[in-house]
Structure 1
Amino acid sequence: MKRTLSGALFMGALSLSSCYKSGITSGENKPVAAGKSTTAAAGLTDLAVSLGANAWLTQPAAGGGEVVASYGLANWTSTGAVFSAYFRTSVTGTLHLAMRAKVPSGSSQLKITAAGQSQTITASGSTYQTVDIGDFNVTDTGYVKVDFQGVTRTGGYFADVSDLYISGAATSGRLHYIQNDVYWGRRGPSVHLGYTPPAGKNIAWFYNEVTIPTGQDPIGSYFMSNGFSQGYFGIQVNSSTERRVLFSVWSPANTDDPNSIPDSLKIELLRKGPNVVSGSFGNEGAGGQSYLVYNWQAGNTYRFLTKAEPVAQNKTIFTSWFYAPETGSWQLIASFKRPQTNTYLTGLYSFLENFSTDTGFKGRKGQYGNQWVCDTNGNWYELTTAKFTGDATATAQSRMDFAGGVENNRFYLRNCGFFAGFLKLNTPLSRTASGTAPVINFNQLP
């Protein structure tokens, strides 16, 4: 089940998120401690980069059936299809490539491109064997992209390719690629902003704004705006034709199965807005979920408002509203009552994740700005500082394509896409205060 149903929970430390479900280490011939340097100096066996873990079909062919299976490149029949594999180097120099491949019948010409240079090779043989590709000159550190494209074939399809073998001076330093936890690694690193709330205040309301830059919204993106200790609220890209506004609250039950939650610990839906779908979720914790199918647009700024209200019998009501510039008004998403909970809003955070393994090679970016909270006395406080953190995929450094910072006086989060630069986890961030609190008539909210 997709992580869209839970996301990551920031409470000083992360919980109920992929950071406790992942065990990825830096790439090496065998699992090593996270972050340990690996080398492929002369005389050592080439490092094997699994293509089932580290390659994607980056250019599908019309009508083609190419896929990246767990064992590598498969169903490779079209000359228009391009597979791409990624690994990160820390030094420059000569990179030698070979691959483990088989061609079930006939022979195939394959074009391999790395660091902007191409080699065309011929492969044959119906059993797996090492096929030499050649040398490439890596002139910059960061991610190396290796493209595989078929040129001609005499058999039924080009080849099955399971591993890319890398060696040479360019691999003598620290390397990063997916080794163990393939599922989370292929989704890519999730990143978070943990906001600093005003001390000693009962926070009843949390306000945030999200802007997605044009072109930074591939399928699988979840731009979570209003996260708190018991739930989360944001927007996501579910398919080429569907986008959603999603609000969910975890049950206090310690389970991933919503059907196992006793009635006394179930999340109760009190009300929901027009066209909002409600139900339950599981797999990463479990609880109540609601979503509105809404075609939000990159480049526009959307507003998010969440309220916490402790009530009788040790319960708390969590309610979220969404404001779209296209409609010019607040819309209720849902109101949930959570048992065994007596709290105002705590653990405020935002995150960016990709929930589709097929789009883990595509970059995405979200801007989070103008954060405010309002206490139980009606006083507004601006949130101008945050800590940048990441999940286990980022912490283990099997992937380094994650970043955050401040631009246009908004915090931003960036992940996936195999870009060169990254921001060190646990980096503190700050933006300039605007000093202008949002104007919201709480009594007139739907």
Structure 2
Amino acid sequence: MKIVFIVAAIVLLNNLAFGQSAKMAIPLGGNAWAKGNAVITDGGAFNWKNRQDVINIYFKTNSAHPLKLALRLRVPAGKSTIAATVANIVFVKKLNNAVFDTVSLGTLNIRRPGYVKVALKGISKTDSVYAQVTDLIVDDLKPQDTLTYVVAGSSFHFGRRGPSVHLTYQVPNAVKNEVKWFYNEITVPQKMDVIGSYFMADGFKEGYFGMQVNSAAERRVLFSVWSPFNTDDPNSIPDSLRIKLLKKGDKVHGGVFGDEGSGGQSYLHYPWQAGNTYAFLLEANPNKIKNTTTYTAWFKDIKAGKWLLIASFSRPKTTTYLKGLHSFLENFEPENGDKTRLAYYTNQWVADSSGQWQPICSATFTGDEAARKNYRNDYAGGTNGKIFYLKNGGFFNGLTQLNQKLAIKPRTIPPVIAFKDLPR
């Protein structure tokens, strides 16, 4: 990926040094979404057959001035007429090139910096498909211009998923070395519960706990703990280093996971709803004699007012209280990377073995590689003075700079939890 950046930079600088305008090719594989029967692959847009199909391409510019747009495409057979719409401007092009070629759309006057959407639709065709499109070409770039998009050579899968964003919490010094309990609440606003979203509440060094939207009909509360054995294949973990499921709640699925490290996984199918508030409670019990730590997670629908046991896992070769506390917001469905999701993280507390609660009042806002490497700029995080929030996806403008320190007003009313009455 570094090589891609260096080559692109050299080409741009050389062109500018000799007084030439520069151009960049934006691959549809990482920067386009299709509605209808058309599909986006790593190679571009294909199967574009119906007039109802729409192919949306996104990029961001930091400057406001005219830019020339073109498409690299071909019409496999016959002739086609297509339209490319940007804001209220429509470019209509007649096509008949059977081999891939660069076809000019026209000049677009960028009125303000920010994200640009180019929407492609078919008008007429004499054969089965309108066109196959690999790249959007942006030309006439000036020295001050920066384009933001998912570059060729990077992972289009993760680029299309969009940037993940995180809150890394600062634990009060009073309990810093002995965080036995971590409490958090999440509210997802109406229409922000996009399929593929993971609203993670209680993250810690060895695992994570939150709620997901898995499909139009399925939602989960998910709790996972990583094995100390580093592998993406759970079957390769030695017995002595496997995460052991000690207990799980009623109707909770217990199993394993892989492909992002490996370990123990549990989830409860639960019809949580946008607009409602949900509580997450995590406990760590280190055992120095056995050299293990038991992690237990409970979930509560605030309206229902009842704690549900999700699972209790034992992690070998580990004796620690909770470390590295964090929350995050991610999209795990690339086809929904063009949609915005938002979550409010509303009530964070930690307690030591004595059960004395301390409020969490500060956090650091960070992002994943898609944000750090400037592939995507549609991310934000912050506070309204009382709560934290995270937002990503959908190509909105107004990003939050990474690594910002965030602070909220200290809370004064701790959660009321009868630890001995929790289901185990």
TM-score of the aligned structures, taking structure 2 as reference length: 0.94
Q: Percent identity?
A: 46
What is the rounded CA distance, in whole Å, between the counterparts of 1:168 and 1:29 in structure 2? 20
**Does residue 272 of structure 1 match 2:272?**
no
**Does residue 255 of structure 1 match 2:255?**
no
What is the identity, as a one-letter code, of the residue corresponding to 1:268?
A: K
Contact 1:92 1:169 in 2 (8 A): no
What is the rounded CA distance, in whole Å, between the counterparts of 2:251 and 2:116 in structure 1? 46
**Does residue 121 of structure 1 match 2:93?**
yes
What is the rounded CA distance, in whole Å, between the counterparts of 2:264 and 2:394 in structure 1? 32
Question: Can you list the C-alpha shifts for 1:260-280, whole angstroms capped at 9, x where unaligned?
Answer: 111111000000001100100
**Does residue 369 of structure 1 match 2:346?**
yes
Which among 27, 38, 45 is matched to residue 50 of structure 1?
Answer: 27
What is the identity, as a one-letter code, of the residue corresponding to 1:393?
A: A
Residue 232 (structure 1) aligns with: 208
Q: Give the 5 Å matches for 1:296-335.
A: 296-311=272-287, 312-335=289-312
Question: Can you list the C-alpha shifts for 1:93-147, whole angstroms capped at 9, x where unaligned?
Answer: 1121111111112211111012431111111121111111111111110111111
Structure 1 residues 79 and 170: alpha-carbon distance in aligned structure 2, compared to 1, 3 A threshold: farther
What is the rounded CA distance, in whole Å, between the counterparts of 2:420 and 2:50 in structure 1? 60
Residue 246 (structure 1) aligns with: 222
Residue 89 (structure 1) aligns with: 61
Residue 191 (structure 1) aligns with: 165
What is the rounded CA distance, in whole Å, between the counterparts of 2:95 and 2:166 in structure 1? 45
What is the identity, as a one-letter code, of the residue corresponding to 1:192?
A: H
Cα distance, 1:434 vs. partner? 2.2
What is the rounded CA distance, in whole Å, between the counterparts of 2:8 and 2:220 in structure 1? 38
Cα distance, 1:327 vs. partner? 2.9
Cα distance, 1:71 vs. partner? 1.1
Contact 1:40 1:171 in 2 (8 A): no
Contact 2:385 2:408 in 1 (8 A): no
Comparing 268-277 with 112-121, greater Cα deviation is found at 112-121
What is the rounded CA distance, in whole Å, between the counterparts of 2:13 and 2:147 in structure 1? 6
Contact 1:222 1:234 in 2 (8 A): yes
Contact 1:119 1:134 in 2 (8 A): yes
Contact 1:38 1:173 in 2 (8 A): no
Residue 430 (structure 1) aligns with: 407
Residue 359 (structure 2) aligns with: 382
Cα distance, 1:397 vs. partner? 1.0
Structure 1 residues 324 and 443: alpha-carbon distance in aligned structure 2, compared to 1, 3 A threshold: same
**Does residue 131 of structure 1 match 2:81?**
no
Residue 193 (structure 2) aligns with: 217
What is the identity, as a one-letter code, of the residue corresponding to 1:104?
A: P
Q: Give the 5 Å matches for 1:75-86.
A: 75-86=47-58
Contact 1:103 1:127 in 2 (8 A): yes
What is the identity, as a one-letter code, of the residue corresponding to 2:395?
A: F
SS of equivalent residue, structure 1 residue 183:
helix
Cα distance, 1:369 vs. partner? 1.1
What is the identity, as a one-letter code, of the residue corresponding to 1:82?
A: V
**Does residue 101 of structure 1 match 2:78?**
no
Cα distance, 1:328 vs. partner? 2.2
SS of equivalent residue, structure 1 residue 425:
coil
**Does residue 359 of structure 1 match 2:336?**
yes
Residue 181 (structure 1) aligns with: 155
Structure 1 residues 200 and 256: alpha-carbon distance in aligned structure 2, compared to 1, 3 A threshold: farther
SS of equivalent residue, structure 2 residue 158:
helix
Question: Can you list the C-alpha shifts for 1:287-326, whole angstroms capped at 9, x where unaligned?
Answer: 0000001111111110000000012311010000000135
Structure 1 residues 287 and 32: alpha-carbon distance in aligned structure 2, compared to 1, 3 A threshold: farther
Structure 1 residues 174 and 444: alpha-carbon distance in aligned structure 2, compared to 1, 3 A threshold: same
Contact 1:37 1:174 in 2 (8 A): no
SS of equivalent residue, structure 1 residue 370:
coil
Q: Runs ≥4 in structure 1, deviation > 6 angstroms?
A: 36-40
Larger relative contact order (Cα-Cα within 8 Å, sequence gap ≥ 6): 1
Question: Can you list the C-alpha shifts for 1:71-91, whole angstroms capped at 9, x where unaligned?
Answer: 111100111111111111000
TM-score of the aligned structures, taking structure 1 as reference length: 0.89
What is the rounded CA distance, in whole Å, between the counterparts of 1:29 and 1:45 in structure 2? 15
Residue 180 (structure 2) aligns with: 204
Question: Can you list the C-alpha shifts for 1:160-188, whole angstroms capped at 9, x where unaligned?
Answer: 01111111357951111111222211111
Comparing 39-48 with 164-173, greater Cα deviation is found at 39-48
